[in-house]
Chains A and B, each alone.
Chain A
Amino acid sequence: MSKQSPLHFHRMKDMPSTHLLGTGTPTCAGCGGLETLHTMYDILGDKTVFVNAAGCMTLLSVYPFTPFRGGWLYTSMASAPAGAQGVRDALDILLQKKKLSADENVEVVVITGDGTAYGMGMSATSGAMDRNLDFIYLCYDNEGYGNTGQQYSPATPHAARTSTSRGSHGYPGYKKDLFAIWAAHNPAYVATVIAAEPLDLAKKIEKIQAMSGPRMLISLAPCPTGWDYDPQLSVEIGRLAVQTGVWPLKEYSDGEVRHTKVPKQRKPVEEYLQLQGRFRHLFEPKRDAAGIAEIQSRINAYWDRVDAG
């Protein structure tokens, strides 16, 4: 297992200056999910095998091209953690039989989108956590079925326009709290991350490298194509998701939830919403003050609960 000595990420300057993930992938320009993945991969290193459920990131490895320096296994949407179980078991048996030396061991990393993580892959993930599978799970959450044209998923936020929520008020439902659902399984680790806060992301990756058991990460993945904004705003929008309190950065372990980057003065949520075409109907042709206020009040209620402890 690649439980290397800690790298100590204290400041941005400590971020890796060489990139292990190959360029030339077919993800959209400005992809927030790829941004998380490349930062994660730079730190985790090449002693990894990725188990990838169908989704945008399936396109990473289109034969004969792969951005990875190690193995990659493709599974159906519902079964990536089951695939990871098989890979982990095979590695453990080889290790036990001394057909694989300890330094040849690799970390098994599941990578799926939100359609899988929040929806149809939930059962297999729950089972993997029940069995205390030793793996890392990265969900890149772009809040919809992005690879097929941004249909709504259980991760779609309230009021967002999707290709299946075209009405004047957008998606009527509410984003599922996957962090709480995963944490309720009491796995070794659960965290929310975002590429726009690389230091927070790097610290969490560094932390899970020294752990074993299920280590679950949910990365909000700003998506220029699905959220309808200029790709150069990807980092800006990600940062605003944190600063407005839309995307709380937090972690769970040993029965406790800790917030890792609390915005001192939360910005109004409309600063985040108005940059994205999927929320344009909240501002044009007429400002939907009640709709914006409802979104804001839900964010305030969340942070009030956090403040109350």
Chain B
Amino acid sequence: MFRIRFHGRGGQGMKTASRILGTAFFNAGYEVQDAPRYGAERRGAPIFAYVRADRETINERGIIDRPDLVCVADDTLVGMPAAGVVQGMDAHTVLLINSHETAETWQKRLNTEARILILTATEDVEDRAELPYIGSRCAAAAAALTNVIERETLVAALTEELGHLPADIIAQNREIALRVFDEMAQHAGLVAPGSMPSANDYDSPDWIEMPFENAAISNLAIHAGATSVMVRTGLWRTMRPVINYPKCSGCAWICSTYCPDGAINVRADGFPEIDYDHCKGCLVCVAQCPPHAIESIAEHVAREQEAEASA
């Protein structure tokens, strides 16, 4: 059985990637499961979708924990524990990353036995949430790596799944997908179907005594207010608003009121301050700031600058 996971951010098209690949597998005669993993996460949040394909009936359910291929649309997710990119990878796994960096760099950085391939990041977009065609590119690369899907089968699946889009957009996706498919042809067959795990492969769980507890203890009521602040929605951000304080005129009631998340606080000196742990990067503040004192920079660039500054 092929077990393939696509990792991206909400909005990058990972669900579409899984649908295209799933349909391609299906049209190639496979039994298929393809599904996005839905949570409460939104645009910019780490999400994943997965595909299982087999010649036999698939009885396996749930999230793929032993992937044959992990396809990553946005390399900033690799180091993010919440994204779970490296989960369950072993020497059998192929890790495909859309990145400007080399496979050697990633191999060293991750210190993994998995084989790493690079899907060369072509379009240089500032906002990673806007990566164009990445869903089609990931699906095409995955199709080529399995070596069981023909070019025509991929094109038919892509056309079927993107059918609601204008014809020129579909044509562009098709062209870009085929380019990636041909590029990856040199590695055709690198992704091999993993074996069916037997029950013996699973660690038996430890026996845990769970005594009957008073319902008030075991089913905890929340007595603290605003516990949502423990959720770091700042991880969703692909663009970062930065206040240029010399330009800021201190009308903090504007940005602080318009910020949908209430993630701009007013400091004791009356100036606004952005809470980067929770700012989702909508950039409403950038658009609304009267003296244009809030700029936006790509989150990955901001992080690189921070790393350099602290080094």
With a cutoff of 8 Å between Cβ atoms, the chain B residues found around residue A3 in the complex are none
- Known interface pairs A26-B41, A29-B44, A225-B43. Does A19 touch B262 (Cβ–Cβ under 8 Å)? yes
Q: For chain A residues 14-31, which have a beta carbon within 8 Å of chain B?
A: 14-31
Interface residues of B, count at CB 8 A = 47
Cβ distance A133 to chain B, nearest Cβ, rounded Å: 26
A70 in contact with B286 (CB, 8 Å)? no
Cβ distance B222 to chain A, nearest Cβ, rounded Å: 6
Is A232 interfacial (CB-CB < 8 Å)? yes
* CB-based nearest A residue for B226: A22
A232 in contact with B40 (CB, 8 Å)? no
Cβ proximity bits A61-72 to B, threshold 8 Å, 1 near / 0 not: 111111111100
The prevalent SS among residues of A at the interface is loop
A29 in contact with B230 (CB, 8 Å)? no
Cβ distance A246 to chain B, nearest Cβ, rounded Å: 20
- When chains A and B are docked, how far (Å) is the Cα of A128 from the Cα of B182? 64
Cβ distance B263 to chain A, nearest Cβ, rounded Å: 5
With a cutoff of 8 Å between Cβ atoms, the chain A residues found around residue B233 in the complex are 23-26
B287 in contact with A236 (CB, 8 Å)? yes
Cβ proximity bits A289-306 to B, threshold 8 Å, 1 near / 0 not: 000000000000000000
Cβ distance B198 to chain A, nearest Cβ, rounded Å: 36
- Known interface pairs A23-B275, A23-B278. Does A15 touch B228 (Cβ–Cβ under 8 Å)? no
- When chains A and B are docked, how far (Å) is the Cα of A38 from the Cα of B39? 23
* CB-based nearest B residue for A34: B260
Is A125 interfacial (CB-CB < 8 Å)? no
Cβ proximity bits B271-307 to A, threshold 8 Å, 1 near / 0 not: 0000101101111101110000000000000000000
Is A162 interfacial (CB-CB < 8 Å)? no
With a cutoff of 8 Å between Cβ atoms, the chain B residues found around residue A69 in the complex are 225-226
B42 in contact with A67 (CB, 8 Å)? no
A166 in contact with B164 (CB, 8 Å)? yes
- When chains A and B are docked, how far (Å) is the Cα of A236 from the Cα of B237? 21
A233 in contact with B287 (CB, 8 Å)? yes
Q: For chain A residues 220-263, which have a beta carbon within 8 Å of chain B?
A: 224-225, 230-236
Interface residues of A, count at CB 8 A = 53
* CB-based nearest B residue for A65: B228
With a cutoff of 8 Å between Cβ atoms, the chain B residues found around residue A70 in the complex are 225
* CB-based nearest B residue for A230: B283
Cβ distance A120 to chain B, nearest Cβ, rounded Å: 22
B228 in contact with A67 (CB, 8 Å)? yes
The stretch that binds A, out of B82-90, B136-144, B146-154, B251-259, is: B251-259
Is B231 interfacial (CB-CB < 8 Å)? yes
Cβ distance A61 to chain B, nearest Cβ, rounded Å: 8
- When chains A and B are docked, how far (Å) is the Cα of A292 from the Cα of B73? 39
- When chains A and B are docked, how far (Å) is the Cα of A231 from the Cα of B159? 29
B257 in contact with A15 (CB, 8 Å)? yes
Is B261 interfacial (CB-CB < 8 Å)? yes
A22 in contact with B225 (CB, 8 Å)? yes
* CB-based nearest B residue for A236: B287
Residue from the list A34, A198, A236 in contact with B261, Cβ < 8 A:
A34
Is A35 interfacial (CB-CB < 8 Å)? yes
Q: For chain B residues 220-236, which have a beta carbon within 8 Å of chain A?
A: 220, 222, 225-233, 236
With a cutoff of 8 Å between Cβ atoms, the chain B residues found around residue A27 in the complex are 42, 260-261
Residue from the list B42, B236, B258, B278 in contact with A235, Cβ < 8 A:
B258
Q: For chain A residues 87-130, which have a beta carbon within 8 Å of chain B?
A: none
Cβ distance B75 to chain A, nearest Cβ, rounded Å: 21
Instruction: Give the one of B229, B277, B286 with max A CB within 10 A.
Output: B229
With a cutoff of 8 Å between Cβ atoms, the chain B residues found around residue A20 in the complex are 226
With a cutoff of 8 Å between Cβ atoms, the chain B residues found around residue A154 in the complex are none
Is A144 interfacial (CB-CB < 8 Å)? no
For the complex with contacts A13-B253, A22-B226, 19 further pairs of A-B residues with Cβ separation under 8 Å are A17-B252, A17-B253, A17-B266, A22-B225, A23-B261, A24-B230, A24-B233, A26-B41, A26-B42, A28-B280, A29-B42, A30-B282, A30-B284, A39-B257, A63-B222, A64-B222, A225-B42, A233-B287, A235-B288
For the complex of A and B, the 7 pairs showing the least CB-CB separation, nearest first, are A22-B226, A69-B225, A30-B282, A19-B262, A23-B278, A24-B231, A26-B40
What are 7 of the A-B contact pairs (CB < 8 Å)?
Answer: A15-B257, A23-B278, A25-B228, A29-B42, A30-B282, A38-B261, A64-B227
Residues of A within 8 A of B (CB): 12-32, 34-35, 38-39, 42, 46, 59-70, 166, 195-196, 198, 224-225, 230-236, 285
